[in-house]
Amino acid sequence: MHGVGVFSSLQKDPEMSVEVVVKNSCQSIGEGPHWDDRTNSLLYVDILSNDVHRWSPDTGNDEKIHLDDSVGFVVPCRKGGYIVGLGRSLSHVDWDSRKITKLHEVDKGTKNRFNDGKCDPRGRVWAGTMGYESEPANPERERGSLFRLDVDGSLHACVNKINISNGLAWTADNKTMYYIDSLPRKVYGFDYDSETGNISNQRVVVDFGEGTIPTLGYPDGMCIDTEDKIWVACYGAAKIVRFDPTTGKQLKTVDIPARRTTSCCFGGKNFDELYVTCGVQGSTKEEREKYPMTGSVFRVTGLGVRGRPANVYEG
C-alpha cells in the first residue's frame, strides 16, 4: 500500500515526514527490517506469527511466507535465498520453493529463540538469542548469546549471558561494532576485527539511564548512517532516536505513531528513507485505539541523512 497516512504534523522538523507504507501488516512483533537494494524491496519479519515479509514500493505488494516457528530476522544470501533465525535454528530459506535447510541449532534444551540478526561488512551473519518471554520485555534473564555465522558455515558464540539480543551496526571504518542488549537498556561498543570477525573491549556507548523508561523505553533494533551516528528504536516510547555513540548524546528524535517501535533501517534508491517496524503483542485495546497503525511499517523521509547499503551473507 502506498502512503496510507502521513503523520508529518507529529514532527518538530518541517522537512521530516512519517507515513504508513504497509498498513497493519504485523499481528505479533514486526521486526528486522532489511532493505534489499538488489530487488528494491523491504524484507521484515512478524516474529511470533512465523512470517517473513517482502514489500515492494514499486508495486505496493507485500508478499509473505509462513514458516513453522518464530522468525527473529531475515537477511539475503549472495548465492540466493535468505538466512533466517527460525526458533533456535539458523536456517536457509528458498523463497520460491519454500525449502527450509537447517544450518545450526543452538541453546538445545531451552525455550530460547533467535531474535535480531544482521550481516557484518565481510558478509558474516551475527544473530542473538533470548530466553522465553512470558510478556514483552520480560524474558528469562541472561539466557541468550550472540552468535557469528562465518562464510565457511561455522558458528561461533561470541557473547554470553544476554537478556534480549538486539540491534547491531558497524562503523564505516570497520573497526567498531555496536550491539544492544535491551534489558540493561544499553548500547555497547566493541573493537571489531573485520579480517577475523573477533570482537573485544566491550564498553557502554549509550546508557538509557535510570528513570527514562517513560521517555525512552527500551533500546531495540538499530541502524547506522553514513556519519556513523546510530538510530535506535525505543520500544514502548513511540520513537526512533539518533544518538552520537562517541558521546552518548541524543541528536534527534523521530516520533512514530505506534508505541512499540522495534527496529529501523535505511532504504530507498538513495538510502535516505528510514523504514520502521513495530510490535502489536502486549498492546491494550486503548493503546490500539490511540495508535491505530500499530503493527504497520512506516517510512520516514526528509531526515537529511542517509545510510549505507545493507550487507548480505557471503557464505
Task: Report the percentage of the chain scoring pLDDT > 90.
Answer: 94
**C-alpha grid cell, residue 250:** 541524543
Summary mean pLDDT of the chain: 95
Would you say 201 is a known binding-site residue?
Answer: no
- Residues 287, 273: Cα–Cα separation, whole Å: 27
Can you give the pLDDT at residue 44?
Answer: 98
Task: Say if CB 306 and CB 270 are below 8 A apart.
Answer: yes
Can you give the pLDDT at residue 9?
Answer: 37
Measured between alpha carbons, how far is residue 223 from residues 34, 81, 226, 227, 242 in Å? 10, 23, 10, 12, 9
Catalytic positions, please? 220
**C-alpha grid cell, residue 159:** 557473547
Can you give the pLDDT at residue 4?
Answer: 44
Task: Say if CB 70 and CB 47 are below 8 A apart.
Answer: yes
Select from 274, 263, 275, 271 the least CA-distant residue to 310. 271
Higher pLDDT, 4 or 76: 76
pLDDT in tens, 14-34: 689 999 999 999 999 999 999
Give the angle subtended at the CA of 74 by the CAs of 19 and 309, to the nearest 5°: 65
Can you give the pLDDT at residue 14?
Answer: 67
Whether residue 6 is predicted with pLDDT greater than 50 in this model: the reply is: no
Would you say 61 is a known binding-site residue?
Answer: no
pTM, entire model = 0.95
Would you say 115 is a known binding-site residue?
Answer: yes
Phi and psi dihedrals of 100, rounded to 5?
A: -110, 130
- Residues 129, 142: Cα–Cα separation, whole Å: 10
Other Cβ atoms less than 10 A from the Cβ of 135: the count is: 8
Can you give the pLDDT at residue 13?
Answer: 66
Can you give the pLDDT at residue 134?
Answer: 86
pLDDT in tens, 258-293: 999 999 999 999 999 999 999 999 999 999 999 999
Whether residue 72 is predicted with pLDDT greater than 70 in this model: the reply is: yes
Would you say 113 is a known binding-site residue?
Answer: yes
Reported confidence tier of residue 135, pLDDT bands at 50, 70, 90: confident
Would you say 138 is a known binding-site residue?
Answer: no
pLDDT in tens, 151-174: 999 999 999 999 999 999 999 999
- Residues 284, 5: Cα–Cα separation, whole Å: 22
**C-alpha grid cell, residue 172:** 564505516
Select from 197, 244, 202, 248 the least CA-distant residue to 225. 244
Phi and psi dihedrals of 9, rounded to 5?
A: -65, -20
Question: Which helix (H) or strand (E) covers residue 32, if one does?
Answer: strand 30-36
Would you say 37 is a known binding-site residue?
Answer: no
Task: Say if CB 258 and CB 294 are below 8 A apart.
Answer: yes
Can you give the pLDDT at residue 12?
Answer: 54
Reported confidence tier of residue 242, pLDDT bands at 50, 70, 90: very high
